[in-house]
Amino acid sequence: MGIEINDREYAQIQAFIFDAVGIALGPSKKHLVTGRLEKRLRHHHCGSYSDYLRLLSDPREAAEAQQAIDLLTTNETYFFREPKHFDLLATEAREARQEGRALRVWSAACSSGEEPYSIAMVLDDTQPGQRWEVVASDINSRTTHIPPAYLSRYCLRGTGTQSGTLLIQRELRDRVQFMQINLDRTLPRVGVFDVVFLRNVMIYFNLETKRRVVQRLLTVLRPGGLLLIGHSESLHDISAELVPVRPSVYRRV
């Protein structure tokens, strides 16, 4: 039998995640919260969500608080999700190569490594010999949706006891820099980017948080640079500095 969460406890969880990362969990997310956090309650022998919330408020339990944040903000992801975005990236990269420019790309809200490594494969293929760069945040591995040519070129499949695992080519891994960045806080010094991927995360922000996050991103996106969001998302009335290029793609003016 699962550990039930009452309305007061759920409101406290909502406040916890909003204060931490600016994500607004709606009433419909209660089942998601219990599904993702119940194992942590059992791990710490907490009989209720109130007990677990007291644990999260303890400064000595910062690692557990971070784990709770990770569990509540992790989205489904896989290699080359929304392929049209990567086709567009390849076009931008080829144009930049003709101009003698190497791209800097930020995977700004990836829950694992699939997105930045997909970006890196495209840049390595379209900008060979140039000093392109990818900045990202977390890492995991899934093989789904990798184009066969990239799979054979950049990935090593495990065999025997390692069957089912995937190793990204070391030369490619070394070109991707992982950082922990909270988009609802002052950004660290990350430089200026030509393309920013911010996909499937804005849907969790309220309007005020969206505006704050986008304004921060604009400080590190060069004029003419691209901001890519999820196909189910929109930046309508968020910033006059962004003009739509096509659905889910904006260019900074």
Per-residue pLDDT tens for 163-220? 566 678 888 888 999 888 888 889 999 999 999 999 988 888 889 999 999 999 999 9
Q: What's the pLDDT at 147? A: 84
In tens, the pLDDT along 49-79 reads: 999 999 999 999 998 998 898 888 766 567 8
Known catalytic residue: 36? yes
Choose, from 104, 124, 138, 194, the residue flagged as catalytic: 138
* Cross-strand partners of 243: 251
Q: What's the pLDDT at 162? A: 62
Q: What's the pLDDT at 222? A: 97
* Residue in 155, 160, 161, 64 with CA at minimum distance from that of residue 113: 155
Burial level of 8, CB count in 10 A (0-12/13-18/19+)?
exposed
Q: What's the pLDDT at 142? A: 55
Q: What's the pLDDT at 71? A: 85
Q: Is the dihedral of CA 86, 89, 94, 95 positive or negative?
A: positive
The pLDDT confidence band at residue 43, using thresholds 50, 70 and 90, is: very high
Choose, from 36, 40, 173, 212, the residue flagged as catalytic: 36
Token couple for 204: 């969790």
Ranges 36-45, 92-101, 110-119, 177-186: which has the least confidence: 110-119
Residue of higher predicted confidence among 40 and 162: 40
> Across residues 85-102, what is the average pLDDT?
95
pTM of the model: 0.73
The pLDDT confidence band at residue 149, using thresholds 50, 70 and 90, is: confident
Known catalytic residue: 174? no
> Are residues 71 and 36 in contact, defined by beta-carbon separation less than 8 angstroms?
yes
Is the model's pLDDT at 11 over the cut of 70? yes
> Across residues 31-43, what is the average pLDDT?
93
Residue with tokens 């921060």: 216
Q: What's the pLDDT at 139? A: 34
Is the model's pLDDT at 138 over the cut of 50? no
Mention every residue, 6+ apart, whose C-beta is less than 8 A from residue 72. 13, 17, 23, 25, 32, 33, 36, 37
Strands, DSSP E only, in the chain?
Answer: 104-107, 133-136, 155-157, 166-168, 176-178, 193-198, 221-229, 242-246, 249-252
> Across residues 108-116, what is the average pLDDT?
80
> Across residues 24-31, what is the average pLDDT?
88
Q: What's the pLDDT at 143? A: 57
Q: What's the pLDDT at 153? A: 87
